[in-house]
Amino acid sequence: MIRLTLRSRCLAIVCGAWFGCALAWAGELSAAAQKEITQLLDRIERSNCSFGRNGNWYPSGEARKHLEMKLDYMVKRNMLTSTEEFISKAATASSVSGEVYQIRCGSQAPVASATWLTAELKRIRSSS
């Protein structure tokens, strides 16, 4: 029993140290990334495309609100360091169901949100 308790304590110390290191490695979102993400959110909202999430389709304004909520959560916890991480960690799939987000514009076939957002990010960067 004492050995188990000692092992448990050691495990807790190691895990705590690792978690602390992981938090130290997390960075802050740069001003440039913040600007790009805002531009992406603006483009989603202005697109008038539908946003597919967990089997339902939402208007572009709702998509923006949802992604802003996820962005705020991740920024407060220093979980993002780049626009690409925003796309891959927050704007690609549901953190609840794991289901991939989709964007459907007009009569076009839906595409994965990561594909749509990456293409928009390239346009943003090429126009800068």
1 located within any domain? no
Q: What is the pLDDT along the chain (128 residues), one digit of tens a residue?
A: 444 444 444 444 434 443 443 333 346 889 999 999 999 999 999 998 999 999 999 999 999 999 999 999 999 999 999 999 999 999 999 999 999 999 999 999 999 999 999 999 999 999 97
Model pLDDT, residue 11:
41
3 located within any domain? no
Model pLDDT, residue 44:
97
Segments forming the whole domain that contains residue 90: 27-127
98 located within any domain? yes
Evaluate whether 66 touches 46 at the Cβ level (below 8 Å).
no
CA dist 125 and 5 (Å) reads 55
Evaluate whether 47 touches 105 at the Cβ level (below 8 Å).
yes
16 located within any domain? no
84 located within any domain? yes
Strand order in the sheet with 111-112: 56-58, 50-53, 102-104, 111-112
Q: How many CB atoms lie within 10 A of CB 80?
A: 25
Model pLDDT, residue 28:
85
15 located within any domain? no
127: part of which helix (H) or strand (E)?
helix 113-127
CA dist 51 and 62 (Å) reads 8
Domains held by the chain: number: 1
Query: From residue 105, how far is each of 2, 40, 67, 75, 108 by CA, in Å?
Result: 63, 15, 18, 29, 6
11 located within any domain? no
Evaluate whether 80 touches 90 at the Cβ level (below 8 Å).
yes
Model pLDDT, residue 113:
98
